Amino acid sequence: MNTNWKFSDHAIRQARTKGFTADQILGALNNPYKITDVTRYPGQKRHCGSGIAVVVDGDRVITMYLDGVVTALRPDQMSDPAALNSRRLGR
């Protein structure tokens, strides 16, 4: 179990904005029910647990969001080929 996670400014903003607790974040990081690769960014992993997904690159926490929630594309993603090919477009 890693106890020395380093959080990006973006990850801190996401946690605060979305109201995620320290217990949720550390639960996902240190006791995930699954860990998957982030295919768009080689080397990054997605730790899922405690109702959230936390994206890490090594010991650095990049971002976090609700696990399993599919959201609509943002306006800035409408010209992004990866976003356009994602499963979000069909919902």
Each of the 91 residues of the chain gets a pLDDT tens digit; together they read 667 999 999 999 999 999 999 999 999 999 999 999 988 889 999 999 999 999 999 999 999 999 988 778 778 878 877 776 765 445 4
For residue 91, the model assigns a pLDDT of 42
What region does 76 belong to: left with phi over 0, alpha with psi -120 to 50, or beta? alpha
Domains of the chain: 6-84 (3.30.2310)
> The pTM is what?
0.81
- Count of CB atoms within 10 A of residue 42's CB? 8
